[in-house]
Structure 1
Amino acid sequence: MNGIVGIVVFQDIPTEMERTIEVLSNQTDLIQRAFSLALAKIETAIEERGLCTIALAGGSTPKPLYEAMAEQILPWDKIHVFWGDERYVPPNHPDSNQAMARRTWLDRVPIPATNIHPIPTDEADPAIAAMKHEAELRLFFGDDKNIPTIDLILLGMGDDGHTASLFPHTEALQVQERLVTVGNKDGQPRITFTVPLINQARCVMFIVAGAGKQAALAQIFSPVADPMAYPARLIQPQRELWWLLDEAAGQQFKAASS
């Protein structure tokens, strides 16, 4: 496939999880590969289950992915959109993950408003907002006890190894009994999916770009490292895990596959 300069596939026999790492030659190829995979997952979910649930990532890297999605003709009434995390700002704030996704994708397609499930950020106490969103998830999936299974969760990763709003050495990393919790970024609250909810997904896809990610990636894929220091290491879904890296981020994997 054009643009792929390295592929490493791991099969975790005890859990049947398949982890694939692909190194793409540049950010354009990275986004094109993410787009192709995401579109395939959406189409498969609709074909097999009648609808697709997808949780979006924030940050700048996935913007062109969302712009590409906005150009597609899809059965939008069968697609439900969530977010893996959200900054605790109003929905029209420049830093809002919801605002970015609406501007680049959702406001440009005929998706029903009821199919968009933003994280609330209007409570005085972020913990109440987290509980409200968990209640919405449970109502949507119709299960008060088990962890819901989202079809596709898109994730980014920071230079420090955080993903969603699961930051190093924060309490959110250890939350096991909730679907949604309050994250903490330099004293500022954020709302985030918990590790158990992310790991229940049918497919988790990391989209990572930039040489600044190399050090964290080395720890995340090391045989021994502290997941409290590198939270993306905690993401080990039971089914599919994709790491899509541009060449700047994925030098170590390019070498391993050559």
Structure 2
Amino acid sequence: MNKIVEVLPDKDALIQRSLAIVVDKIQAAIAARGRCTIALAGGSTPKPLYEQLATQNLAWEKLHIFWGDERYVPSDHPDSNEGMARHAWLDQVAFPLTNVHPMTTANAEPAVSASQHEMELQQFFQLQPGAYPRFDLILLGIGDDGHTASLFPHTDALQVRDRLITVGNKDGQPRITFTVPLINHARTVLFMVAGASKRPALAQIFAPVADAAIYPARLIQPEGELVWLLDQPAGQELNVN
């Protein structure tokens, strides 16, 4: 694993640096393999990145969009990760509908939705049984509690090693989420973290020894490249050298 940690002066600089990396990864993947597969993050931090991506001149027809996790709400709900990304980016450009691969949340049972999305990934990536897809880029953030995607502290989802997609749990509310091994098969994982409230969790995530059941982002150790972009309020106390 190639690990890169950068502390940027402020959130605007964080967004601009993220934009440069994402555009570079998209173009490199298309040049190498004819397409780029990217999994988006939810939350407030990446929204300005998506708005910036909507201003770029990229080969949208060669870009396939997925999500690393989704709240179990309709896509037009204010809390929907899909809805946020569509509003900020995908609906603003000539993006092919067939290149957008949301997690369905229409089933009464979240486990059914998780299985359906797993089958979609297996078909799209033409996977053999037991194999994992290799996303070109997975975008992630962290919560103040150290969770990432919908991998929350002390939840069953952290232990899943034989699935691509599972059901996460946030205070009794189900989520659909990538599993740890799926994320760790990515070519590049990019964390975007902003705000002083993330400092305590980051200290544990970056500590030589800490409990990943309490700070799940510690479990993300991809085979490829791991990039942490932090704004100054989040990263100022970290020794990143």
TM range (shorter): over 0.9
Counterparts in 2 of 1:178 and 1:256: CA distance versus 1, 3 Å: closer
Residues 1:92 and 2:76 are matched in the alignment: yes
The within-5 A match list for 1:150-189 is: 150-189=135-174
Find 2:123's aligned residue among 139, 153, 159: 139
Question: What is the distance in 1 between the residues matched to 2:81 and 2:10?
Answer: 24
Q: Deviations over 1:20-59 (max 9, x none)?
A: 1100000000000000000000000000000000000000
DSSP-derived class of the 1:64 partner: helix
DSSP-derived class of the 1:117 partner: coil
The within-5 A match list for 1:190-209 is: 190-209=175-194
Give the superposition deviation at 1:19.
0.6
Q: Deviations over 1:120-163 (max 9, x none)?
A: 00000000000000000000000132101000000010000000
Question: What is the distance in 2 between the residues matched to 1:141 and 1:45?
Answer: 15
Give the superposition deviation at 1:73.
1.1
The aligned counterpart of 1:149 is 134
The within-5 A match list for 1:1-258 is: 17-145=1-129, 146-253=131-238, 257=241
Which residues of structure 1 form unaligned runs of 5+? Answer: 1-16
Q: Deviations over 1:151-183 (max 9, x none)?
A: 000001000000000000000000000000000
* RMSD across aligned positions (CA): 0.8
Give the superposition deviation at 1:251.
1.1
Give the superposition deviation at 1:81.
0.1
Letter in 2 for 1:56: L
DSSP-derived class of the 1:248 partner: helix
Contact kept? 2:5, 2:240, Cα under 8 Å: no
DSSP-derived class of the 2:234 partner: coil
Where in structure 1 do 4 or more consecutive aligned residues deviate above 3 Å?
Answer: none
DSSP-derived class of the 2:158 partner: helix
Quick one: percent identity of the two aligned structures? Answer: 64
Number of aligned residue pairs: 240
Question: What is the distance in 2 between the residues matched to 1:35 and 1:50?
Answer: 21
Question: What is the distance in 1 between the residues matched to 2:59 and 2:4?
Answer: 28
Q: TM-score normalized by structure 1?
A: 0.92
Letter in 1 for 2:169: N
Give the superposition deviation at 1:111.
1.2
Give the superposition deviation at 1:256.
5.1
